[in-house]
Structure 1
Amino acid sequence: MSPQSFIFLASMLLMLLIAGCHAQLRVDYYRSTCPNVESIVRSAVEIKLQQTFVTAPATLRLFFHDCFVRGCDASVMLASRNNTSEKDNPINLSLAGDGFDTVIKAKAAVDRVPGCQNKVSCADILAMATRDVITLTGGPSYAVELGRLDGRISTKASVRHHLPHAEFKLTQLSQMFASHGLTLTDLVALSGAHTIGFSHCSQFSKRIYNFKSRKSIDHTLNPAYAKQLQQVCPKDVDPRIAINLDPITPRTFDNQYYKNLQQGRGLLASDQALFTHKGSRDIVNLFASNNTAFEKSFISAITKLGRVGIKTGNQGEIRHDCTMIN
């Protein structure tokens, strides 16, 4: 068998597997067991967001980190006594606690409603809360497919090689997303989640100091923007200092992220790579000029993301406590 044939067959098997799991999900999954679940979750998310804006990017990032490791099963929320769960992996240590807290509080709100207790999975609550923070910050609303069960396994080691790094090039990003049945357009659309949120100086310091070329900064960075970054992130700064991913409209879910990339204002190397690489530049330009096209593609992509590796039947459970198995 040729390598091309093998890749084709592997891709087809992956798509069939995803399609089989997808068939288990329904928008009205809780219609008879907890009919008001969406409004209950949204109210809890609204309260949390009013308390701190970090709720929005933290919840969105938590969903992404959950789905890319072991699938969308809330395994990222499981805690362990000896710090060996997913959330203990170094790449997950930067996940803001507000994302976890949002799901925990929404779960508590759901379980307080007569008839709803222990009927709704933490994985589904995370999926709904993610849609809600997107909508509440100005992004599109969309129907969330439901019916995921919560996973029982969460290991620090399983995170390795499953999440993108800030310095990834387009080829590495594309391969990682393709392994989950996501296309290049899905990759560029989901990257648009960086229209809200923040990153730490340590994630992009190599772009503004000690760059491998003779120049002191990454040549794909806008020079004026690079100087601004050097001012807020001097060499001896605490690497935990947070910088907005979108310097223009950091609290609004819009297509400004793509306009920033056109101007060399992508904070992370993996962001700017979407524009500097000719393979994805046209998609960036489309989303920068057409917010409707971006929103439509984002809804499609995050819906597909929500189908990755879901647990059904005896593969999972509905946790009573999102941080531990029953």
Structure 2
Amino acid sequence: MQTGGPGWEVPLGRRDSLTASLSGSNNLIPAPNDSLPTIIGKFANQGLDIVDLVALSGGHTIGDSRCVSFRQRLYGQNNNGQVDRTLNPAYAAELRGRCPRSGGDQNLFALDLVTQFRFDNQYYHNILAMNGLLSSDEILLTQSRETMDLVHRYAADQGLFFDHFAKSMVKMGNISPLTGSAGEIRHNCRRVNHF
């Protein structure tokens, strides 16, 4: 990969839908403020386990998030001005500079403040340093012994993270395959819209 991440073989012949549903997909994927049991449940409903959850969360080593997705960590769940105790106060102060109590909802912030454009295991180091941007990132360290152990393991061993991430991507790609005449097998992937 150009970003330095792992590669994996994508099974061929999967039928792709002819339509897309933003609301449908948003109902199935975890929200940035979901509780860990809710996230675990959403993964389990798709046949994915705890290893898949923590490994696939590592995809947050690349990309951005909008201010509106983590504002409650900066100003409290009830807008009481209290910074989330699991967020590094210095990092919170930096974030507050561009993510005010109101407004700036669309302002973008790197999910990985250290290696934003590199696919690596820095995401897990960020979590250990209390620099996970989203609540759904930091709870991997603070809400479960099992997820915490995986965060530590992936921070210590990038190869293990890459291996688990690749396996989880293949597993995720096999969720609810279309069969029969539903959808189509793409012969020319360039026809797919890119955002």
Q: What code does the residue aligned with 2:72 have? A: K
1:219 is matched with which residue: 85, 88, 91? 85
Q: Secondary structure at the match of 1:199?
A: strand
| Structure 2 contact 58–123 (Cα < 8 Å) conserved | yes
Identify if the C-alpha distance between structure 1 residues 311 and 206 changes in structure 2 by more than 3 Å, giving closer, same or farther: same
Distance 1:232 1:197 in 2: 17
Corresponding residue number in structure 2 for 1:139 = 5
Which deviates more from structure 2 when the two are superposed, residues 281-290 or residues 136-145? 136-145
Aligned CA RMSD, in angstroms, stands at: 2.0
Partner of residue 192, structure 1: 58
Q: State the alpha-carbon separation in 2 of the partners of residues 247 and 299 from structure 1.
A: 23
- Hey, what does 2:154 align to over in structure 1? 287
Task: Mark the runs of 5 or more structure 2 residues left unpaired by the alignment.
Answer: none
Pairing 1:30-41 to 2, within 5 Å after superposition = none
Residue matched to 2:39: 173
Is contact 1:138–1:252 with CA below 8 Å preserved after alignment?
A: yes
Structure possessing the higher relative contact order (Cα contacts under 8 Å, 6 or more residues apart):
2
One-letter amino acid matched to 1:222: N
Distance 1:249 1:272, change over 3 A: same
Shift of 1:148: 1.2
Give 1:175 shift. 0.7
Q: How does 1:146-165 map to 2 (within 5 A)?
A: 146-155=12-21, 157-159=23-25, 161-165=27-31
Cα shift at 1:214: 6.4
Identity %: 38
Letter of the 2:60 partner, please give it.
H
TM-score of the two chains, using structure 1 as the length reference: 0.54
Q: 1:315 Cα deviation (Å)?
A: 2.0
Other-structure match for 2:104: 238
Which residue of 1 is the match for residue 142 of structure 2?
276
Q: Deviations over 1:76-105 (max 9, x none)?
A: xxxxxxxxxxxxxxxxxxxxxxxxxxxxxx
2:75, 2:81 within 8 Å by CA — same for their partners in 1?
Answer: no
| TM-score normalized with structure 2 length | 0.89
| Alpha-carbon separation, structure 1, partners of 2:159 and 2:110 | 24
Equivalent of residue 113 in structure 2, options 247, 256, 266:
247
In structure 2, the partner of 1:80 is none
With over 3 angstroms needed to count, the CA separation of the structure-2 counterparts of 1:223 and 1:279, relative to structure 1, is same
SS of equivalent residue, structure 2 residue 16: coil
CA distance in 1, matches of 2:105, 2:167: 35
Deviation at 1:168, TM superposition (A): 1.0
Q: How many aligned residue pairs are there?
A: 189
CA contact (8 A) 1:166 1:204 kept: yes
Which stretch shows the higher mean deviation, 261-270 or 160-169?
Answer: 160-169
Residues 182, 201 of structure 1: CA spacing in aligned structure 2 closer, same or farther, 3 A cutoff? same
Following the alignment from structure 2 to structure 1, what is the Cα–Cα distance between the partners of residues 56 and 76? Answer: 30
Matched-pair contact (CA < 8 Å) for 2:63–2:111: yes
User: Partners of 1:288 and 1:216 in 2: how far apart?
Assistant: 29
* TM-superposed deviation, 1:313: 3.2
* Secondary structure in 1 matching 2:147: helix
Larger radius of gyration: 1
Deviation at 1:314? Answer: 1.4
Deviations 1:229-276 (A, max 9, x none): 111212344211100000111011000000110111110000101011
Match of 2:168 in 1: 301
For residues 155 and 140 of structure 1, the distance between their equivalents in structure 2, rounded to whole angstroms, comes to 29
Distance 1:311 1:201, change over 3 A: same
Native 8 Å contact 2:76 2:84 kept in 1: no
Structure 1 residues 160, 142: closer, same or farther in 2, change over 3 A?
A: closer
| Offset, 1:215 | 6.1
**Change beyond 3 A, Cα 1:157–1:262:** closer
Q: Is residue 147–residue 312 contact of structure 1 (8 Å, CA) maintained in 2?
A: no
